[in-house]
Structure 1
């Protein structure tokens, strides 16, 4: 049955929900001294939610350093790959409706991929390939075992081919349809299911949603997730009446400082994109993303809005890597800033399997992901905890912020559900 929780969250002191005000203040001091005041980050927005209450919500530093515009509660950030969980939830709605199944071959919906081979040799097309051990299944897209890749990894001749065709870049080009056509020209990096590799798979999921639902992907998200949940600041572009709230994006300069990467006054995000990226195209606020996370933590519903069944959420947040392996055993990706030990992958999220192996405080069953501009979130059902962190610094591997936040926020818990 739908939750009685309101769409608008209430607030409480940390002590009311078993957390420490002093320890949470220490997190903010760490961010301010180590990152913001040191010029390593432009500004930060941190939100901690436990047992149905917001217990910590702070903003510091600048959303736009050049214009001295401060980070505010309603600042709009590029969330990049934090788009992926939203896209995956949308797809699982279609699964729940019986319109598609996880074990179906992808070429059922993308016929031009029926003969995709696995790379053997070659620098440019035509590549030497071999047939995959089995066809790519839809579940391979959701758990990144598809054999697809990202060009920015710069590991192989396959991702070089992605770069040549501008597939999956931070600044998206082309359209969903042109991306699918371009991917038909490039071999897979490995046979589906044989490895884990961070990739454009979730962009492909957006394309499948469009084909199966019979409407534009962005329209499906608007009608089925954003409008029902009141996520009014989440979109693939920032409209003109909200442009003053849009943060600048920076790149690490290699010397501990910042270089402006995307000016919010001239950004491509100010107009609707041609490429609607389910893997990394959304902008959002901490408030909107908290609403989405609360629905997941609450078993797929918030208020009288139900996105998914609790059983579907449980399926999505289980480890789906073949053989129950973790990412250290399966990952070919150059993506992560930290060890993947003890971490598996579900449908749209990383999943903590063994906290001791991660060497970071946490809980088995915690699920999470982050974005290219150093944004991050995690949801811990055991502790009824959500943490959301926003900033705008590329790449996300520049500093170990996510590891530090996990350590310090879990250290603020003074009692436990476990």
Structure 2
């Protein structure tokens, strides 16, 4: 039995301490991860905050609470909220064809055969809609999928990011490339959310970074979230590492030399942000509160509920409709909403949790979830590519849900 003094917001802190013990013995001491930062909150109260290991192994710098992490695809929910803010203003409807706002996309085609730049294509069965973009049912893809001749074209054109890429050039190149499938007929993780970021610019008349600051970051007090790390904060910026066989890692991005530290021109709504655990927690807690934090509302309660419903056809889960093998969430028992994964079947997922839990992760193994049933949330920060290296996300859920006492 534990004393009441070890209970915070209905969570047993002695059981939550297993998180740090697990990460230390299973990942940090064996040299599988450089460092970790874990935050667990319930009912608006932080119940557990744990920092360990190194943010920069080469410079022997420990993880600190204010360490800046590349959140990569955890940018996607922020971009999705931004776009749905504009939905709440009547600027567009979800079933609007994308070409209504991007005219050059009016005659998109579906891949049939061939290799870049010579493709055989066929007509789409229906136009791509904005909901297709928000749910990754657009037919777009990522170059790193390494699965088809279409994603090979993305790699050839460096559309996953690289020198000289801008949102405008991405949109222009995509207007000439075939889709993987007709919109709405399948699910594939993709640059769709980057296109959502472009639509935020078109609909608002503001550059994406300025829109984020004015309508999300400043209202929530997120002063440490950027597309480009300011010069005076580079000393807080973590190094990023690449998994290598044998459960080891090697330096992938030196924070002193990183593209994230200089203006690069590509405002990636799909993966471009750097943030701290406290900044991202402000965003997560606003969502957990139904769209507001400390009196600042960034999205309506019903709009947010709409966003974390499963929007896949007939309430199916990802394995049923996905054509690719990659996602930032385990597939089984998981659907997809407007910018988030959504747990639809706890037993099928084989991971403890609640129906309706939603969240997402990033390429460097960061992750967050929000459980509206338990009013519970978690943010996990580290910097190891790819996110599929270890099953930490599922292990953390097992420990966290095991700590609930009321």
Structure 2 partner of 1:75:
67
2:399 equivalent to 1:408: yes
Deviation at 1:56, TM superposition (A): 0.2
Residues 1:96 and 2:88 are matched in the alignment: yes
What CA distance in whole angstroms lies between the structure 2 residues aligned with 1:13 and 1:166? 54
- 2:56 is matched with which residue? 64
Moved over 3 A (4+): 336-339
Q: How big is each residue's C-alpha offset from its partner over 1:122-161, in whole Å with a ceiling of 9 and x where there is no partner?
A: 0122211111110000000000000000010100000000
Equivalent residue of 2:17, what SS?
helix
Match for 2:365 among 367, 370, 374?
374
User: In 1, distance between residues paired with 2:374 and 2:295?
Assistant: 24
Secondary structure of residue in 1 paired with 2:118: coil
Partner of 2:236: 245
Question: Partner residue of 1:362?
Answer: 353
1:31 aligned residue = 23
2:307 pairs with 1:306: no
Task: For 1:225-244, list aligned pairs within 5 A.
Answer: 225-244=216-235
If the length of structure 2 is used for normalisation, what is the TM-score? Answer: 0.97
Q: By how many angstroms is 1:49 displaced? A: 0.2
Shift, 1:47, TM fit: 0.2
* CA deviation vs aligned residue, 1:240-295 (integer Å, no higher than 9, x gap): 11111000000011121110000011111111221100000000000001000111
Question: After the TM superposition, which of the residue ranges 283-292 and 267-276 deviates more from structure 2?
Answer: 267-276
**Could you tell me which residue of structure 2 aligns to residue 6 of structure 1?**
none
1:105 corresponds, among 97, 100, 110, to: 97
The 3 A distance-change label for structure 1 pair 310 and 14 is farther
* TM-score normalised over the length of structure 1: 0.95
Q: Which residue of 2 aligns with 1:4?
A: none
Q: Is the 8 A contact 2:15 2:403 kept in 1?
A: yes
The aligned residue for residue 7 of structure 1 is: none
- SS of corresponding position for 1:182: helix
Residue 173 of structure 1, CA deviation: 4.5
Say if 2:153 is the partner of 1:161: yes
CA distance in 1, matches of 2:338, 2:163: 23
Q: Does the aligned pair in 2 maintain the 1:119–1:129 contact within 8 Å?
A: yes
SS at match of 1:122: strand
How many pairs align?
403
Alpha-carbon separation, structure 2, partners of 1:399 and 1:173: 33
RMSD: 1.3
CA distance in 1: counterparts of 2:5 and 2:21, whole angstroms: 18
For residues 180-199 of structure 1, the aligned pairs below 5 Å read 180-199=171-190
1:167–1:173 CA contact under 8 A, matched in 2: no
- TM-aligned CA deviation for residue 24 of structure 1: 1.0
Q: Note the residue ranges of structure 1 that are not aligned, 5 or more in a row.
A: 1-11
Superposed displacement of residue 319, structure 1: 0.2
In the alignment, the residues of structure 2 paired with residue 44 and residue 98 of structure 1 have an alpha-carbon distance, to the nearest angstrom, of 41
CA distance in 2 between partners of 1:186 and 1:13 (Å): 60
The answer to whether the Cα contact below 8 Å between 2:329 and 2:361 also exists between their aligned partners in 1 is: no
What residue number does 2:319 align with? 328
- Whether the 8 Å CA contact 1:233–1:285 is kept in 2: the answer is yes
Paired residue secondary structure (1:290): helix
Alignment partner of 1:128 is 2:109: no
1:347 match: secondary structure:
coil
How far off its partner does 1:361 sit?
Answer: 0.6
Q: Report the Cα distance in structure 1 between the residues aligned to 2:171 and 2:328, rounded to whole angstroms.
A: 29
* Pair 1:20-2:12 in alignment: yes
| Ranges in structure 2 where 5+ consecutive residues have no aligned partner | none
Task: Give a deviation string over 1:359-404, Cα, whole Å, max 9, x none.
Answer: 1110011101000000000000110101000000000001111111
CA distance in 2, matches of 1:99, 1:322: 25
Match of 1:84 among 76, 80, 94: 76
Q: Distance in 2 between matches of 1:129 and 1:153?
A: 20
Q: Using the alignment, how far apart are the partners of 2:68 and 2:241 within structure 1? A: 15
Matched, 1:178 2:142: no
Q: How far 1:81 moved relative to its partner? A: 0.1
Q: CA–CA distance in 2 between the matches of 1:218 and 1:13?
A: 44
Preserved contact between residue 333 and residue 344 of structure 2 (Cα < 8 Å): yes
Match of 2:202 in 1: 211
**Aligned-partner Cα distance in 2 for 1:313–1:242:** 33
